Chain A
Amino acid sequence: MSEKPWISVCELSDLLPDTGVCALVNKQQVAIFRSRRLNEVFAVSNYDPIGEANVLSRGIIGSIGDEVVVASPLYKEHYNLRTGECVEKPEYKISVFPVRLDDGLVQVQA
């Protein structure tokens, strides 16, 4: 299986620390977050499967124990940014996408 190409979506400076943005990558809505404390970038699906709307990039990120999560802005369920699992309702899971920084650019495989 050939690996999907890395697509540049924005500059790191477009990502305000501890907030998210949404990028359109191959017709998919990807929510991208930057944690200042972890100095790390995360990419997951922007679609909230419980609220049924494209809103996750507008949620608050944080931690539950050692896990890094985003809280849906609609009904506040938490999704694990590394695994995509919903903390409160494990039957729901969102896609997680590979993401990297390349010379100040945020790149996603989706």
Chain B
Amino acid sequence: MKKRIVVVGNGMVGHKFIDNLVNHADADQYQVITFSEEPRLAYDRVQLSKYFSGSTAEDLMLTSTDYYNEKGVQYILSDKVIDLDFDNKEIITASGRREAYDKLILATGSFPFVPPIPGNNGEHCLVYRTIEDLERITASAQQSKIGVVVGGGLLGLEAAAALKAAGLETHVVEFAPRLMAVQLDEGGGKLLRRKIESIGVRVHTQKATNEIVAGTESRYRMNFADGSHLETDMILFSAGIRPQDELARKCGIGLGERGGIVVDNNCQTTVKDVYAIGECALWNNRIYGLVAPGYQMAKVALSHINGGNDQFTGADMSTKLKLLGVDVASVGDAHGNTPGSLSYTYSNDVEEVYKRIIVSADNKKLLGAVLVGDVEAYGTLQSMCVNGMDLPEDPNCLILPNVEGGGAAIGVDALPESACVCSCYDVSKGAICCAVQDGARTMGDIKAITKASTGCGGCSALTKQVMDSELKKLGVEVSNHICEHFPHSRQELADIVRIKQIKTFDELLDTHGHGLGCDICKPAVGSILAGFWNEYVLDKKHIGLQDTNDIFLGNMQKDGTYSIVPRIAGGEITPEKLIVLGEVAKEYKLYTKITGGQRIDLFGAQLHQLPAIWKKLVDAGFETGHAYGKSLRTVKSCVGSTWCRYGVLDSVGMAVILENRYKGVRSPHKMKFAVSGCTRECAEAQSKDFGVIATETGWSLYVCGNGGMRPRHADLFATGLDDVTLIKYIDRVMMFYIRTADRLQRTSVWMENMEGGLDYLKKVVIDDKLGLCAELEEQMNYNISQYQCEWKTTVENEELQKRFKHFINSEAKDENLAYVVEREQIRPATALERKNSTIQFVELVD
């Protein structure tokens, strides 16, 4: 018989336990049943604030009913477990349901602590914990002008960001003398405060709230112990969490003095066969309010059930995060509580950077660190601290600017194999080295195989160093040369072309390459030249560079014929144009299909027919759709605010603007866009290279998403943008991509391989860290000014059309073409059909 495992609570940690179990080798020996009092399965509470920048409850989900069904996990939602019967080994729910268990896992999590202040139960006094809370906050914010967050800790500041995003005048009230008192020291807290105040959040420290009463100008008035007061329309309590131990308390499971279910190193409670994991568990008199230790406990409990010997022995509480746009990190003993500890501090008021490291009394080991404003060193410092590595000779190099990477200073070779490099996914140095030994060669490979640096991304620099070092050890020379004809990467070639103003392939081959070139470097250089100078791609100078599809401005199909794809910007088309497409397709017997990019493909055009067909289309006002190019394909859109009852902004209008702006821009690979008119996201913008979503406060820009073979959710790049800023950011990101990506590298892979990742891209594009923005914009404007419809140019010039025939010396057609009818349209005959003499082939149009 299968062992029955009951998991009470389907939060992040409860789900993690289940996910580990159902993917375990012995999964078929267990039947899993999970209960949640919330109306949905586990979602990502760490990312809750994304709800305010466009993500939906759906986006935050960590699992799905489909997944649980597939894995045979029984789930019961909106039914709270209220009693336990240890004698019969059963649980009892509010609805009276009883389920037997062999092993019981309590993953009940925590609840927000609301300080016992008179008046704390008003309608607009809320907490920040669940998706339902977020819905309440959104509703309340719509009826409020001013919002106060009580609590200046990590969660409090996230809540403040949410209120700010909702457009409220935002205040943070904190009892302690500084923000994030647990993680930051005085210097760090001070700088964080300054930065947060500079973006308009008012911070009030050392304030104890005595009571909340009716306000005179706003809904409420908070009276503080020092006699001062503050008026506000809503109050969010974020003053810490308390373990949800109600069930355990009722049933007599051992608790700590101040709550929390006591567990041992196996995560076992005081009752046999009952485990507790996550924020409800108290280990060594300590509650861990972060998700990573919770995941560790999930692993330990499962190991114990399976007879393994993993132990929970405490967890590293280091964190790195971005709060209200400010980078903050805290490592180990950030306060220097260790007796005799010493510290090094770097503080720069101009660039607003604060870094402090705490070292042991003998100046040999790193004990902790605080970083505000620049957290690049986090990965190195955290790893050094957790693994007890020796400090470099001059510890200053770990925090001083412009010292070649702290990581280099200590050298990754000094890390033991077991050293944890990625704490989000618990990936060791050894695992990364193994992946390299098994053939991984790029950061993209490492991420796909080990998951390292796919969580918070804080370890990306360290991961890359480990990978590079291992590659070097294996004697693998990582050549980034594009092919045998150029000893350069695509990025280097792009720099050469741009800086030396090279205009042709031959010029580049003469000066920087050798041989004749090939089908790798020719199209790549063709793309670079077009990306910067945007000349007619079929000009004599460039024609030999064009790949299969570009060379005849159409997509070659399996039988050598072409498809015809006119641009239908934003998917918007008039009836008149629709009729023209139908008439042309009919006249030439073309197979007609709607594409995923909201336009219409006409298939089966022979080479010699292309100019005549395009002449008709151009005359009717169509332009080429560049379906053949490594360039902008389409900007998909939903119908938006002009028609839709839910639309917030005019998504079609923006899609048309974007498509017309970037049409014809050649890039390292194709680029897809989408614009959604509200956060329902009907245009699926988060799966595109550039995705734009309308919100109440303006456009949200997402970058580097991908559908297709390797789907990647786009990263949220910026929010609350007006039209001009949106376009400015897209200009910059796109031109930076054109300059720096590898050949045929989609934006998603480009992002995954970018050192520093999203934060770095933001620094370049938003903060202008490299001083490049003006140049990027200028380059993009030049490129756009050179736009031409390649088909218009071609049909207006007879000389250019000469090439469009199958034979140079005959009007005959390619006799290899054969079509049959299927569903009332043509399709190429199969090899078998071709051999069958009884089959009637479709007569081709001349």
Contacting residues of chain A (1-42) with chain B, CB-CB under 8 angstroms: 9-10, 14, 16-19, 21-25, 29, 32, 35-38
Whether A53 contacts B518 by the Cβ 8 Å rule is no
The reply to whether B484 and A54 contact each other, CB–CB distance below 8 Å, is no
Mark contacts of A37-80 with chain B using CB atoms, 8 A cut-off: 1 yes-contact digit, 0 otherwise: 11000000001000111110011111111001101011010100
Which chain B residues lie closer than 8 Å to A17 at the CB level? 540, 544
Chain A CB within 8 A of B548 CB: yes
The answer to whether B808 and A68 have CB atoms under 8 Å apart is: no
A16 and B543 in contact (CB under 8 A), knowing A23-B807, A24-B807, A24-B810? yes
Task: Decide if A63 touches B543 in the complex (CB within 8 Å).
Answer: no
Given A17-B544, A18-B544, A68-B516, the answer on whether A60 and B808 have CB atoms closer than 8 Å is no
For A62, give its contact among B506, B519, B556, B802 (CB under 8 Å). Answer: B519
How many angstroms from the CA of A106 to the CA of B802 in the assembled complex? Answer: 17
Q: Is the CB of B516 within 8 A of A63?
A: yes
Instruction: Give the contacts of B518-552 with A (CB-CB under 8 A).
Output: 518-519, 521-523, 540, 543-548, 551-552
Q: With A and B bound together, what is the CA distance between A30 and B546 in angstroms?
A: 21
> Which B720-760 residues have C-beta < 8 A from chain A?
none
Known contacts A17-B544, A53-B559, A63-B517: A10-B808 contact under CB 8 Å: yes
Known contacts A17-B540, A55-B556; A9/B484 CB under 8 A: no
Query: Which of A35, A55, A62, A65: most chain B CB closer than 10 A?
Result: A62
Q: Which of B484, B485, B516 has the most CB of A within 10 A?
A: B516
Contact B808 A22 (CB under 8 A): yes
- Residues in A with CB closer than 8 Å to B523 are 60
Pairwise interchain contact A63-B814, C-beta atoms closer than 8 A: no
A74 to B807, CA, bound (A): 19
User: For A76, what are the chain B residues with a Cβ–Cβ distance below 8 Å?
Assistant: 519
Does B339 belong to the interface (CB within 8 Å)? no
A38 and B519 form a contact (CB under 8 A): no
| Whole-angstrom CA separation of A55 from B817 in the bound complex | 12
Q: How far is the CA of A58 from the CA of B543 in the complex (A)?
A: 11
Q: How far is the CA of A11 from the CA of B140 in the complex (A)?
A: 79
Cβ of B216 to closest chain A Cβ, rounded Å: 76
Do residues B522 and A60 form an inter-chain contact, with CB atoms below 8 A?
yes
Task: Please measure, in the bound complex, the distance between the C-alpha atom of A65 and the C-alpha atom of B527, giving whole angstroms.
Answer: 24
What is the minimal beta-carbon distance from B841 to any residue of chain A, in angstroms? 16
Q: Is the beta-carbon distance between A35 and B547 smaller than 8 angstroms?
A: no
Count A interface residues, CB 8 Å.
39
Could you tell me the distance between the alpha carbons of A76 and B551 in the complex, rounded to whole angstroms?
15
B832 to chain A, nearest CB (A): 13
Contacts of B521 in A (CB 8 A): 62
Contact between chains at A60 and B544 (CB < 8 Å)? yes
Which B residues lie within 8 Å of A22 (CB)?
Answer: 806-808
Cα–Cα, bound, A55→B406 (Å):
55
A53 with B816: CB separation less than 8 A = yes
How far does the alpha carbon of A42 sit from the alpha carbon of B484 in the complex, in Å?
22
- Indicate whether B831 reaches chain A with its CB closer than 8 angstroms: yes
Q: Which residue from A23, A55, A60 sits with its C-beta under 8 Å from B519?
A: A60
Instruction: Check A14 against B808 for contact (C-beta < 8 Å).
Output: yes
**Contact between B516 and A62, CB atoms less than 8 A apart:** yes
* Partner of B518 from A16, A19, A36, A60 at Cβ < 8 Å: A60
A102 to chain B, nearest CB (A): 15
Q: Indicate whether B771 reaches chain A with its CB closer than 8 angstroms.
A: no
Pairwise interchain contact A52-B808, C-beta atoms closer than 8 A = no
| Number of A-B pairs, beta carbon distance below 8 Å | 99
Distance between Cα atoms of A82 and B515 in the complex (Å) = 16
Instruction: Report yes or no: B517 in contact with A58, Cβ–Cβ below 8 A.
Output: no
Interface residues of chain A: helix, strand, loop or mixed (majority): strand
Instruction: Give the shortest distance, in Å, between A71 (CB) and chain B (any CB).
Output: 4
- Contacts known (A24-B812, A74-B548); A61 close to B516, Cβ less than 8 A: yes
* Least Cβ–Cβ distance between B597 and chain A, in angstroms: 23
Q: How large is the interface on B (under 10, 10 to 19, 20 to 34, 35 or more residues)?
A: 35 or more
- Please report the C-alpha to C-alpha distance between residue A51 and residue B807 in the assembled complex, in whole angstroms: 19
User: In the assembled complex, how far is the CB of residue B514 from the closest CB belonging to chain A, in whole angstroms?
Assistant: 9
Would A38 and B558 count as touching, CB distance under 8 A?
no
Chain A residues with Cβ under 8 A from B809's Cβ? 9-10, 23-25
A16–B516 contact, CB under 8 A? Answer: no
Contact A71 B808 (CB under 8 A): no
- In the assembled complex, which residues on chain A have CB atoms less than 8 Å from the CB atom of B559? 53
Q: Bound state CA distance, A60 and B806, in angstroms?
A: 17
Residues of B within 8 A of A58 (CB): 548, 551-552, 556, 560
B556: chain A residues at CB < 8 Å are: 55, 58, 73-74
Report if A63-B551 is in contact (Cβ < 8 Å); known contacts: A16-B543, A18-B544, A23-B809.
no
A71's nearest neighbour on chain B, judged by CB, is B519
Q: How far is the CB of A29 from chain B (nearest CB, A)?
A: 8
Tell me whether A60 and B484 are in contact in the complex, defined as CB-CB below 8 angstroms, given that A9-B808, A17-B540 are known contacts.
no
Note all chain B residues with C-beta closer than 8 A to A54.
Answer: 560, 806, 814, 816
Find chain A residues with CB under 8 A from B807 CB: 22-24, 29
A64 to B484, CA, bound (A): 8
CA distance in complex: A35, B506 (Å): 12
Instruction: Report Cα–Cα, A92/B677, bound state, in Å.
Output: 54
Q: How far is the CB of B635 from chain A (nearest CB, A)?
A: 28
Question: Given A24-B807, A73-B556, do A59 and B519 touch, yes or no (CB 8 Å)?
Answer: yes
Q: When the two chains form their complex, are residues A65 and B544 in contact, meaning their CB atoms are under 8 A apart?
A: no
User: Once the chains bind, are A62 and B518 in contact (CB under 8 Å)?
Assistant: yes
Q: Which residues of B contact A55 (CB under 8 A)?
A: 556, 560
- B831 & A63 in contact (Cβ 8 Å cutoff): no
Question: Are A16 and B515 interface neighbours, CB within 8 A?
Answer: no
- Residue among B519, B803, B831 facing the most chain A CB atoms (10 A cut-off): B519
Docked CA distance A71–B515 (Å): 16
Known A19-B544, A53-B816; contact A74-B808, beta-carbon cutoff 8 A? no
Q: Determine if A52 and B831 form an interchain contact, defined as CB atoms under 8 angstroms apart.
A: yes
Most interface-central of B506, B558, B809 (chain A CB within 10 A): B809
- B residues in contact with A18, CB < 8 Å: 543-544
CB within 8 Å for A16 and B552 given contacts A24-B809, A53-B559: no
Interface residues of B in 328-372 (CB under 8 A from A): none
Contact with A along B812-846 (1 / 0, CB 8 A): 10101000000000000001000000000000000
A63 to B515, Cβ gap below 8 A?
yes
Interface contact B543-A19, CB-CB below 8 Å: yes
With a cutoff of 8 Å between Cβ atoms, the chain A residues found around residue B518 in the complex are: 60, 62-64, 69, 71
- Tell me whether A53 and B519 are in contact in the complex, defined as CB-CB below 8 angstroms, given that A19-B543, A23-B808 are known contacts: no
Q: How far is the CA of A63 from the CA of B513 in the complex (A)?
A: 12
Chain B residues within an 8 Å CB radius of A65:
484
Q: Which residues of B contact A29 (CB under 8 A)?
A: 807, 814
Distance in angstroms from A43 CB to nearest chain B CB is 12
Inter-subunit contact B558/A53 (CB<8 Å): yes
Q: Specify the chain A residue showing the minimal Cβ separation from B523.
A: A60
Q: Is the CB of A62 within 8 A of B517?
A: yes
Residues from chain A with Cβ under 8 Å of B810 in the complex:
23-24
* CB-contacts of B242-269 with A (<8 A): none
Q: How far is the CA of A63 from the CA of B816 in the complex (A)?
A: 29
B578 to chain A, nearest CB (A): 31
Q: How far is the CA of A76 from the CA of B545 in the complex (A)?
A: 14
* Residues on A with beta carbons closer than 8 Å to the beta carbon of B543: 16, 18-19
Q: A11 — nearest CB in chain B belongs to which residue?
A: B808
Chain B residues 449 to 489 lying within 8 A of chain A, measured CB to CB, are: 484-485
The residue of chain B having its C-beta at the shortest distance from the C-beta of A62 within the complex is B518
Question: Using a CB–CB distance below 8 Å, which chain A residues touch chain B?
Answer: 9-10, 14, 16-19, 21-25, 29, 32, 35-38, 47, 51-55, 58-65, 68-69, 71, 73-74, 76, 78
> Given A16-B803, A23-B807, A71-B519, 11 other A-B contacts at CB below 8 A?
A17-B540, A17-B544, A19-B543, A29-B807, A54-B816, A60-B519, A62-B519, A63-B516, A64-B518, A68-B516, A73-B551
Q: List 23 A-B contacts (CB under 8 A).
A: A14-B802, A17-B540, A19-B544, A23-B810, A24-B807, A24-B810, A24-B812, A47-B816, A51-B558, A55-B556, A58-B548, A60-B518, A60-B522, A60-B544, A62-B517, A63-B485, A63-B516, A64-B484, A69-B518, A73-B547, A74-B548, A74-B558, A74-B560
List 7 tightest A-B contacts by C-beta distance, closest first. A18-B544, A62-B518, A71-B519, A73-B548, A63-B516, A60-B519, A21-B808
